[in-house]
Amino acid sequence: MHARVPRMTWLGLLLGVACALSRPGSADTVGLTAYGSTQLNAAVERWLSSGGYRRAPALSVAVGVNGQLVFARGYGEARPGLPATEHTVYHIGSLSKQFTAAAVLGLVDRGALAPRSNNAMTLASSARDFFADVDNWEGSGHGPVTLRGLLTMTSGLPSLIAHPPAQADPWGTITSTRMLEELRKLAVPGTSTGFVYNNSAYFLLAEIVETVVAGDGRGTSSFADFVKGNIISRLGLSDTSFVGDYGSYSAMRTAMPSWGRTPAYRRRPAFVQADWLKGSADMASSAFDLFTWNKALMGNDLLSAQSRHLMFSDAARVGASTYYGMGWFIEHSPGWDWYSHSGYVPGFTSSNMIARHSPDGTWISVSLLTNADGVSGLNELASEIVRTVMHQTSAPGNAR
């Protein structure tokens, strides 16, 4: 659970940022006060020193306030002899789901046609509008599997990783065609089970994007090509790509796993080769690009206001005070909305967080990427960074 955040005077924050000092040669684009930067740096250093690692992992950090980058640095070595920076590229794991959700919502925004029904896509569009032979997905009393259900992980579809195909090698590759064939065989329960975290839902969303764009005459045929053309290039995310896209990914400033505390015998994990994580956890990015990504989502650079609202809505209850939207977990405290997601793939852990002041819409974002797995407290570090930025004002409010 995210730490609760103090209320504050946003005018004081914005004045503090506008008048802040930025050291020559620093990566701080706008900058905090010298004291504020020192406090953020100290929080990161404490986290790095608390893990008990044989080899200290790298960590890249980007912090934004209301669309302005105020702190961006790297710590440690991305690989032996290569210092980490805010532009170092890491596998981002399940943060990939945010890009998949945006790709689907973007198609809804432009009124793209579902190929089997020839109707405009909506969140109520059924899986039957995109796929043939999905009778198993309409359990008695459950209703159809819809785009909304897949995006919010309430479709009821079982996980393919929990039910892997016979003869499939969990440590090898698998084609998306085979995955779709096997998913067709899985039945949806007769009654809704509510929110169930499931990578297979986002795999299907990636497949839906492919079925739509393959026939739209716009020159793209794969999910990765669509995301690169309509999101990555459009937003200028030069540090962002797909792990399997060796033409671009291999040329980036990529981090190698430090492995943190993961023992050697566990370093050959299952279900990570293509296409097991397609659409759900197959992307790589930098802290700087994730700040740019958050800025685009919070503004008008990518999605319509309606789709942005849906992405950050309380669509599915996860726990007593936690919800899932579309690619984001959501919590609320007085005056604040919290949007966050963690990412994990073997060798890498990530956290992306936005705290939005609901009365006036101003916001703080924190993006953290590290080349270690088995880490703990990364989301808590993000929350601490948010609170540290807030406390640079003269009106810190009442923390809870």
50-104 pLDDT, tens per residue?
877 767 899 999 999 999 999 999 999 999 999 999 999 999 999 999 999 999 9
Q: Is the pLDDT assigned to residue 384 strictly greater than 90? A: yes
> How large is the average pLDDT for residues 143-155?
93
Q: What pLDDT is stored for residue 29 in this prediction?
A: 44
Q: Which residues contact 210 (CB under 8 A, 6 or more apart)?
A: 221, 222, 223, 226
Task: Give yes or no for a contact between 237 and 231, defined as CB atoms under 8 angstroms apart.
Answer: yes
Q: What gap in Å lies between CA 52 and CA 261, rounded to an integer?
A: 8
Cite the beta strand spans of 268-362 per DSSP E: 283-285, 316-317, 323-324, 329-333, 336-345, 348-357
Q: If you compute the radius of gyration of the chain from its CA atoms, what whole number of angstroms results?
A: 21
> How large is the average pLDDT for residues 357-378?
92
Going by pLDDT thresholds of 50, 70 and 90, the confidence category of residue 19 is: very low
> How large is the average pLDDT for residues 389-394?
64
Task: Give yes or no for a contact between 51 and 380, defined as CB atoms under 8 angstroms apart.
Answer: no
Q: What pLDDT is stored for residue 251 in this prediction?
A: 72
Q: What average pLDDT does the chain have?
A: 86
Residue 174 C-alpha from the chain's centroid: 23
Residue type, 19: C
Q: What gap in Å lies between CA 321 and CA 330, rounded to an integer?
A: 9
Task: Give yes or no for a contact between 71 and 257, defined as CB atoms under 8 angstroms apart.
Answer: no
Q: What pLDDT is stored for residue 252 in this prediction?
A: 81
Burial grade of 313 (CB within 10 A; 0-12, 13-18, 19 or more) = middle
Q: Which two tokens stand for residue 51?
A: 């893990």
Q: What gap in Å lies between CA 33 and CA 19, rounded to an integer?
A: 8
Is 37 or 9 the better-scoring residue by pLDDT?
37
Going by pLDDT thresholds of 50, 70 and 90, the confidence category of residue 31 is: low
H or E element in which residue 106 lies: helix 96-109
User: Is the domain covering 1-361+383-400 a CATH 3.40.710.10 domain?
Assistant: yes
- Give the pLDDT confidence of 118-142 residue by residue, as tens digits: 999 999 999 999 999 998 887 656 6
3-state secondary structure of 15: helix
Q: What gap in Å lies between CA 330 and CA 172, rounded to an integer?
A: 34
Residue 58 per-residue DSSP state: P
Going by pLDDT thresholds of 50, 70 and 90, the confidence category of residue 22 is: very low
Q: Which two tokens stand for residue 139?
A: 């359990």
Using a pLDDT cut of 90, give the percent of the chain over it: 66
Q: What pLDDT is stored for residue 142 in this prediction?
A: 65
CB contact burial 167-192 (16+ within 10 A = b; e otherwise): eeeeeeebebeebbebbeeeebeeeb
Q: What pLDDT is stored for residue 360 in this prediction?
A: 87
- Give the pLDDT confidence of 235-285 residue by residue, as tens digits: 999 999 999 887 777 778 899 999 877 888 788 899 999 999 999 999 999
Q: What pLDDT is stored for residue 43 in this prediction?
A: 94
Residue with tokens 């960074």: 385
Q: Where are the domains of the chain?
A: 1-361+383-400
Q: What pLDDT is stored for residue 216 in this prediction?
A: 66
Q: Is the pLDDT assigned to residue 16 strictly greater than 70? A: no
> How large is the average pLDDT for residues 299-320?
94
3-state secondary structure of 350: strand
> How large is the average pLDDT for residues 361-385?
93
Q: What gap in Å lies between CA 271 and CA 168, rounded to an integer?
A: 10
